[in-house]
Structure 1
């Protein structure tokens, strides 16, 4: 598919959620899940390249892109998993491979553990790590974590998103976060990741509340149990410059292979698109 994808919507928990469809209804499906503060059009270069073999479906997670914002600031991994299940149901899918980046990988991994038959292959882009800080976070009393969560949600609700005078200015801000972004890609990400307000200024589309970490989730041991229930083969693609983060260790999987991509950071698919595309193509084509 050489043109732009088709925008569509589906319903989940009273939210209208957006996804783009790279056509090819006669082709097998492939799901792409973006990370936090991102959007579905971030996948465009990879999606376009894979649309010759797959019907590529890339949703905007709730609170991101052109999807609705949760009225109760409910952005737990479980909520996103429910949304992914609703997407499968809306599309009539029984199973599909999933490629996911960062937070999207947490969602995909949880989904694959709960519904093993629904995921045929799983590619995790800089997403399959645990951090030593987890134990320290869980050592904080639960009541303190919940109260702190309430305070952060209140602040997020009162916050005024930073305005940008142009797409170029927003793109430049993205390049501060990831200096390896080309001018064209940064502009593309900024164009689809921001919207124009009535005052003529652009602001990011994501809900600030989506950045607040949920205070209560399943335990690390329960996450490991679900991880080991994943039936799909797993490919882990980590950026070499991201692997050295203090306290970071790869997760254990029953059937996984791992590639450390040279000269790539957290945004491994943007930093080394050719290497990621080649690895994903080979992995999805393998018996």
Structure 2
């Protein structure tokens, strides 16, 4: 599958994978900053953003999509830092563990390799499905429909970035909601491997988030990524890059620039 991407800057490749219901646009502020030192390639994963839709949505397939993009762009695996947030972090882990030769370094934002219970997404799915696209006249109406299920304004604004007007002036969602709803359990799947990823790895967790637990930090992560460090951004939640962009910029820049 040919993924949609945006490339800017020069230098070692820094490839960015967004999370569930995200797009590469969520990363543009940080991508512009990193582009001063790296060749930044922000990616829309399958069933998201402007990338193609598919009924299939698994970490094996998403990792393969990213590898195909590496091939298309002719990227040198000995130079690539792959960064992923949440679902994108699990894609990055799957790729690193299955094809360690294709990466130099790995960065994972606020997700652990263990199974994630996706029931917390039920309200989000209900809110997205409650928006009557056929009768929708403006974004305010969409926000009001989402608010019946999602009380957090910042989450609604994040989701509304996926709403766009088609050529006939009607509204549509960029994510493939049918496929994502059907594959939600697969999105929570555990990332496993018989052989660990031995190259340098940075995990960044939000101090207000429970996506990376103490047990993850002490056991699950070192088991698969023995050459890893876990940095905690104390005042940030799950969207750590949006809540603490300067700290994430600093951590990733230092890690990706270092010679190991």
Give the TM-score normalised by the residue count of structure 1: 0.71
Aligned to 2:192: 223
Does the aligned pair in 2 maintain the 1:161–1:204 contact within 8 Å?
no
Residue among 55, 67, 79 paired with 1:85: 67
Per-residue CA distance 1:236-273 (angstroms, 9 max, x = gap): 11111112789973432211101111121111100111
Number of paired residues?
Answer: 237
Shift of 1:51: 0.2
Does the aligned pair in 2 maintain the 1:194–1:204 contact within 8 Å?
yes
Q: Per the alignment, do residues 50 and 211 of structure 1 end up closer, same or farther by CA in structure 2, a change over 3 Å counting?
A: farther
Q: Per the alignment, do residues 258 and 171 of structure 1 end up closer, same or farther by CA in structure 2, a change over 3 Å counting?
A: farther
Q: For the residues of structure 2 that align with 1:169 and 1:281, how far apart are their CA atoms?
A: 40
Q: Work out whether 1:194 is the aligned partner of 2:163.
A: yes
Give the TM-score normalised by the residue count of structure 2: 0.77
Secondary structure at 2:192 match in 1:
helix
Q: Per the alignment, do residues 177 and 160 of structure 1 end up closer, same or farther by CA in structure 2, a change over 3 Å counting?
A: closer
Aligned to 2:57: 75
Q: For the residues of structure 2 that align with 1:22 and 1:48, how far apart are their CA atoms?
A: 8
**1:155-166 maps to which residues of 2 (within 5 A)?**
162-163=132-133, 165-166=137-138
Secondary structure at 1:58 match in 2:
strand
Q: Work out whether 1:233 is the aligned partner of 2:200.
A: yes
For structure 1, the 5+ residue unaligned runs are: 1-11, 135-155
Q: Work out whether 1:29 is the aligned partner of 2:1.
A: no
**1:1-287 maps to which residues of 2 (within 5 A)?**
12=1, 16-24=2-10, 27-70=11-54, 73-95=55-77, 96-131=80-115, 162-163=132-133, 165-167=137-139, 179=153, 186=157, 190-191=160-161, 193-197=162-166, 200-208=169-177, 209-213=179-183, 223-226=192-195, 228=196, 230-243=197-210, 249-250=216-217, 251-252=220-221, 253-287=225-259
Does the aligned pair in 2 maintain the 1:37–1:211 contact within 8 Å?
no
Shift of 1:284: 1.1
Q: Per the alignment, do residues 65 and 247 of structure 1 end up closer, same or farther by CA in structure 2, a change over 3 Å counting?
A: same
Cα RMSD (Å): 3.4
Q: Per the alignment, do residues 247 and 240 of structure 1 end up closer, same or farther by CA in structure 2, a change over 3 Å counting?
A: closer
Q: For the residues of structure 1 that align with 2:208 and 2:200, how far apart are their CA atoms?
A: 25
Shift of 1:121: 1.2
